[in-house]
């Protein structure tokens, strides 16, 4: 595929607001996880929470969109001059030539949950009775409205691969000449649906998640917002590049991955082929690494069998928790920071590495150039995505 320029990117998660907060935490190998203090009856687990959203209602113009997920979207858009970059794109190309393509797993459902808790006479309370709040599209609908964009606008909701797949949609729209730029990304927030839902599947760890540890006990759920602005490379020749993507389906099971990682490997092969890369070109892989028993087993085996020993690989979910539909963009941003700062993030919390893991695993932070990198995202329903990024100079 023709590479695309990543004109601007940003992330907000338990590690803080904006890319510098993320870079600092990654440099210090400092987790953002905390003991669960979310909801009225918190489960005994650890979470990655963004502070302050409770006290940050959306501006008055956007009252009908006001919920935790859209507040996090708004907080995320405000970092790293991202809104200015979007404004410039809108002025350069026109509102209908900029797409808004965002991923989420639960969108604004936290608001619907609250409405049910506070129901009045068998109806949602009047202050929450807005159609915009009770639909999966609340996220992209809000961002398009707030950014005054009128191009193609969709919410992708393929569970934990959602905000990786939006990069693929953007590439197709730009390559076919339907738009000139795309705001991609995703937002997911803590809510009872995911905390009690993953708890019901016995996938939530009682301790901070330990990706690729032999004694890992499950996931820690987190929340995050992340965005990237994609344009043709001629428009931003020095920006880092989005160079490839792969998408596939496991066709195996709704909530457990294919035992041999078939779908994950198909996504990897697709991404490498579109990027014109071979596994030996890859300096770093940000792994899906949820700390669930099955995911890490399958993913570790895939990395061990497909990559050279000097390729570095780590999961950063020990820092942020599993941010579900936002994981794709959050980890894409972390991957771009690894390239920017020549720093491989540590795979923290793995005291006793799983024996399936190969020499590629970066158990501690490493300072080294990262010019070509991958980010894996695998979701429920066997929905897989793999993204490839490269520094501008590599392809110059």
Partner 1 sequence: MSAALTLWVKGMGLWAPGIADWSQFCDVVRGNATPGEVTRPLADALPPNERRRAPESVLLAAAAAGQAVTMSGRSAADLPCVFVSGHGDQTITDYMCETLATAPTELSPIRFHNSVHNAPAGYWTIATHCHAASSAVSAADFSFGAGLLEAATLAVADDRDVLFVAYDIAGTGLLGEMTRSTGAFAASLVLSPHEEPGAIRVDVSLVAGNIAAGPGDVSVLAPIARSNPSALGLPLMEALARGAPQAVRIAAAGNLDLHVDMESLR
Site map (CB under 8 A) of partner 1, residues 191-230, x = contact? -xx--xxxxxxx----------------------------
Handedness of CA 271, 276, 277, 278 (dihedral sign): positive
CA distance 24 to 198: 30
* 113 sits near partner 1 (criterion: CB under 8 A): yes
Stretch that binds partner 1, among 52-60, 218-226, 363-371, 379-387 (CB under 8 A): 379-387
CA distance 47 to 292: 15
In this chain, which of 61, 177, 280, 396 binds partner 1, going by CB under 8 A? 177
> What does each C-alpha distance from 10 to 6, 43, 344 come to in angstroms?
11, 30, 18
* 70 sits near partner 1 (criterion: CB under 8 A): no
Is residue 228 within 8 Å of 240, Cβ to Cβ?
A: no
Write out the binding residues for partner 1, residues 131-160 only, by CB under 8 A: 131-137, 140-141, 144-145, 150-159
Stretch that binds partner 1, among 3-11, 19-27, 109-117, 311-319 (CB under 8 A): 109-117
Write out the binding residues for partner 1, residues 299-358 only, by CB under 8 A: none
Pick 2 or 359: Cβ nearer partner 1: 2
* 254 sits near partner 1 (criterion: CB under 8 A): yes
* Shortest CB 303 distance to partner 1, Å: 20
Pick 155 or 360: Cβ nearer partner 1: 155
* Shortest CB 207 distance to partner 1, Å: 20
In this chain, which of 32, 240, 263, 328 binds partner 1, going by CB under 8 A? 263
In this chain, which of 117, 305, 308, 368 binds partner 1, going by CB under 8 A? 117
> What does each C-alpha distance from 324 to 122, 164, 166, 264, 351 come to in angstroms?
32, 11, 14, 17, 24
Could you confirm whether 386 is annotated as catalytic?
no
SS in 3 state form for the chain?
Answer: CCCEEEEEEEEEECCEECHHHHHHHHHCCCCCCEECCCCCCCCCCEEECCCCHHHCCCCHHHHHHCCHHHHHHHHHHCCCCHHHHHHHHHHHHCHHHEEEEEECCCCCHHHHHHHHHCCECCECCHHHCCHHHCCCCHHHHHHHHHCCCCCCEEEECCHHHHHHHHHHHHHHHHHCCCCCEEEEEEEECCCHHHHHHHHHCCCECCCCCCCCECCCCCECEECEEEEEEEEEHHHCCCCCEEEEEEEEECCCCCCCCCCCCHHHHHHHHHHHHHHCCCHHHCCEEECCCCCCHHHHHHHHHHHHHHCCCCCEEECCHHHHCECHHHHHHHHHHHHHHHHHHCEECCCCCCCCECCCCCCCECCCCEECCCCEEEEEEEECCCEEEEEEEECHHHHC
* Shortest CB 198 distance to partner 1, Å: 8
∠ CA 229-232-237, nearest 5°, is 95
In this chain, which of 248, 290, 343, 347 binds partner 1, going by CB under 8 A? 248
Could you confirm whether 137 is annotated as catalytic?
no
In this chain, which of 252, 340, 365, 394 binds partner 1, going by CB under 8 A? 252
Pick 82 or 130: Cβ nearer partner 1: 130
* Shortest CB 330 distance to partner 1, Å: 19
In this chain, which of 2, 24, 57, 123 binds partner 1, going by CB under 8 A? 123
* 247 sits near partner 1 (criterion: CB under 8 A): yes
Write out the binding residues for partner 1, residues 82-101 only, by CB under 8 A: 95-96
* 383 sits near partner 1 (criterion: CB under 8 A): yes
Could you confirm whether 253 is annotated as catalytic?
no
* 382 sits near partner 1 (criterion: CB under 8 A): yes
If binding means CB under 8 A, how many residues of this protein chain bind partner 1?
Answer: 73
* 105 sits near partner 1 (criterion: CB under 8 A): yes
Pick 61 or 202: Cβ nearer partner 1: 202
| Active-site annotation holder among 22, 258, 322, 349 | 322
* Shortest CB 298 distance to partner 1, Å: 15
* Shortest CB 396 distance to partner 1, Å: 26
Among all residues, which ones are annotated catalytic? 160, 288, 322
């Amino acid at each position: 595929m023709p590479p695309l320029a990543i004109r601007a990117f940003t992330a907000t998660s338990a590690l803080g607001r904006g890319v510098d907060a993320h870079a600092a935490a990654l440099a210090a190998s400092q987790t953002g996880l905390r003991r669960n203090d979310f909801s009225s009856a918190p489960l005994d687990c650890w979470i990655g929470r963004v502070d302050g959203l409770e006290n940050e209602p959306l501006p008055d113009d956007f009252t009908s969109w006001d919920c935790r997920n859209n507040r996090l979207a708004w907080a995320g858009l405000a970092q790293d001059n991202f809104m200015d970059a979007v404004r410039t794109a809108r002025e350069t190309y026109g509102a209908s030539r900029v797409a808004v393509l965002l991923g989420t797993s639960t969108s604004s459902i936290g608001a619907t949950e609250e409405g049910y808790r506070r129901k009045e006479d068998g109806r949602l309370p009047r202050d929450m009775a807005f159609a915009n709040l009770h639909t999966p599209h609340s996220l992209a609908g809000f961002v398009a409205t707030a950014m005054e964009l009128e191009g193609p606008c969709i919410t992708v909701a393929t569970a934990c691969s959602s905000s990786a797949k939006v990069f693929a949609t953007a590439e197709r729209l730009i390559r076919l000449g339907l738009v000139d730029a795309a705001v991609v990304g995703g937002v997911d927030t803590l809510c009872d649906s995911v905390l009690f839902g993953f708890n019901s599947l016995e996938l939530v760890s009682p301790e901070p998640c330990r990706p690729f540890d032999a004694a890992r006990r499950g996931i820690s759920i987190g929340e995050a917002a992340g965005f990237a602005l994609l344009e043709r490379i001629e428009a931003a020749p020095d920006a880092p590049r989005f160079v490839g993507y792969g998408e596939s389906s496991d066709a195996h099971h709704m909530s457990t991955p294919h035992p041999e990682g078939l779908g994950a490997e198909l996504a990897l092969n697709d991404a490498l082929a579109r990027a014109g890369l071979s596994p030996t070109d890859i300096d770093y892989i940000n792994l899906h690494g949820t700390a669930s028993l099955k995911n890490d087993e399958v993913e570790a085996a895939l990395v061990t069998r497909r990559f050279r020993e000097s390729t570095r690989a780590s999961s950063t979910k020990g820092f942020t928790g599993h941010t579900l539909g936002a994981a794709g963009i959050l980890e894409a941003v972390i991957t771009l920071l690894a390239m920017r700062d020549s720093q491989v993030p540590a795979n923290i919390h793995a005291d006793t590495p799983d024996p399936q893991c190969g020499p590629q695993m970066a158990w501690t932070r490493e300072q080294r150039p990262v010019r070509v990198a991958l980010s894996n995202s695998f979701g429920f329903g066997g929905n897989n995505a793999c993204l490839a990024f490269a520094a501008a100079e590599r392809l110059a």
